[in-house]
Amino acid sequence: MREVAVIGVGMHPFGKFPEKNLKELALPAILGAVKDANIGLKEIEAAYIGNSYAGVITGQESIRGQTITRYCGLDGIAVVNVENACASATTALREAYIAVAAGVYDVALAVGVEKLFCGDTARSIKALASGADIELTANTGFQFTGVYAMKANDYMRKYGATAEDFARVVVKNSRNSSNNSYAQFRKPLSVEEVVNSRKICDPLTLYMCSSMADGAAAAIICSLPKARQYTTKPVFIRGSQLRSGMYQDPEKEPKSTVAITSAEAYQKAGLGPSNIDFIEVHDAAAPAEFDHCEDMGFCAKGTAYKLIKEGRFDVTGALPVNPSGGLIGRGHPVGATGLAQTAEIVWQLRGEACGRQIIKDGQPPKVGLALNTGGRADDDRAAIGVHIYQR
């Protein structure tokens, strides 16, 4: 496989944009990535478009990507529409990465775009529920928040964490997103504000849960040495892994699928947790951030809630987590989130993250990791994607 780099990223701000359709959300992200990559539209050979819910939200199935590429003036190229719930954009990125690494294309576009505010909240919730099996769980009243709450209760029981500890994730992430002009939520929150916000599903309060959003993010994926023609700051994709969840016997306490997937990504990259300077993870609910840090080997099980108190996961800490603000702060337009993680990592590695820039030994960081999970199949996540980036 060939070496592959991200040479440009772009975003449409995440938030509530009821007047915009999918095309209008995707356009600035795509043109932003193209401009950032210093390429022309004509150099894009293929587009991988991640979107999770347009079929239910707007009725546009089948060719959602082509409606977007045509709107952007990209005709004739290969277009592949991919879905994987909250991991749709990461799946688009991975498919683009594989095709470029294989030598099928030199320049490919990966896009994640989602529109959730459609003026019909019931329809939005129906769409979100279809991230689980509608014949087994979704139509029985299943809600993702409930699953996260059960896991949070389990974490509290096992390790002694409290709601205040989960609130600290929100405090950190809202502080980070207050410095991110693409973020949906720009107001820094206090522990008291988080804990006292409306209860959603015990122990989770409103501010501990990621919210509905519209938005888009895009990246230009390029082979080497071609990437060197366009940029002096390529960001290499060193490891990429994708798995669906697997059956696990909790009595035997095996490694979680997140642990297995990240271990495989480390092996592909030839890098481990100690080599990674910062991470973007899938904080769909605040407690998940602790699980992710622990499952991926950045700290021992049951310790993340203690380490956050010491500032370990702050932008200025030893392992910044979600410098973008994460899903809770930046927002979570489901099918766009994975590529927003990519954008944040690229900006951080290039030293362009403005008020939230990570500095290590006087320099921008060298290696970042993104974990994006999506949906639910039976007893585990439906998709888990891990990517490791290096400048």
Q: Which of the following is catalytic: 72, 86, 118, 209?
A: 86
Nearer residue to a second copy within complex by CB, 205 or 257: 257
- Alpha carbon of residue 41 to chain centroid: 25
Residues making up the chain, counted from first to last? 391
Contact assessment for residue 57 and residue 123, using Cβ atoms and an 8 Å cutoff: yes
Q: Quick check: helix, strand or coil at residue 359?
A: coil
Nearer residue to a second copy within complex by CB, 24 or 193: 24
Residue position matching structure tokens 């709107």: 71
Residue position matching structure tokens 């994607």: 385
Q: How far is the CB of 224 from a second copy (least distance, A)?
A: 15
Q: How far is the CB of 116 from a second copy (least distance, A)?
A: 12
Nearer residue to a second copy within complex by CB, 174 or 210: 210
Per the annotation, the verdict on 292 as an active-site residue is no
Q: How far is the CB of 99 from a second copy (least distance, A)?
A: 5
Q: How far is the CB of 166 from a second copy (least distance, A)?
A: 26
Upper half-sphere CA count for residue 284 (Cβ side, 13 Å): 25
Cis peptide upstream of residue 250 (ω within 30 degrees of 0): no
The amino acid sitting at 94 is R
Which structure tokens are listed for 275? 């080599």
Q: Pick the closest to residue 184 from 337, 80, 44 (CA basis).
A: 337
Which element (helix H / strand E) includes 326?
helix 326-329
Nearer residue to a second copy within complex by CB, 278 or 389: 389
Which structure tokens are listed for 374? 């999506």
Q: How far is the CB of 128 from a second copy (least distance, A)?
A: 9
Largest CA distance in the chain: 57
Nearer residue to a second copy within complex by CB, 65 or 364: 65
Nearer residue to a second copy within complex by CB, 131 or 329: 131
Those residues with Cβ within 8 angstroms of residue 223's Cβ, 6 or more apart along the chain or in another chain = 2, 3, 4, 5, 100, 101, 103, 105, 106, 107
Q: How far is the CB of 117 from a second copy (least distance, A)?
A: 17
Nearer residue to a second copy within complex by CB, 126 or 151: 126
Residue position matching structure tokens 């320049």: 107
Per the annotation, the verdict on 86 as an active-site residue is yes
Q: Which of the following is catalytic: 12, 292, 332, 387?
A: 332
Burial letters 170-201, b for 16+ CB under 10 A, else e: bbbbbbbbbbbebbbbeebbeeebbbebeebb
Q: Which residues bind a second copy (CB under 8 A)?
A: 1, 21, 23, 46, 52-56, 58-64, 66-67, 69-70, 75-85, 88, 91, 95, 98-99, 101-104, 126-127, 130-136, 242-247, 257, 260, 374-378, 380, 382-383
Q: How far is the CB of 217 from a second copy (least distance, A)?
A: 18
Residue position matching structure tokens 């002009």: 181
Contact assessment for residue 97 and residue 4, using Cβ atoms and an 8 Å cutoff: yes
- Return the DSSP state at 309: G
Which structure tokens are listed for 58? 């707007």
Catalytic residues: 86, 332
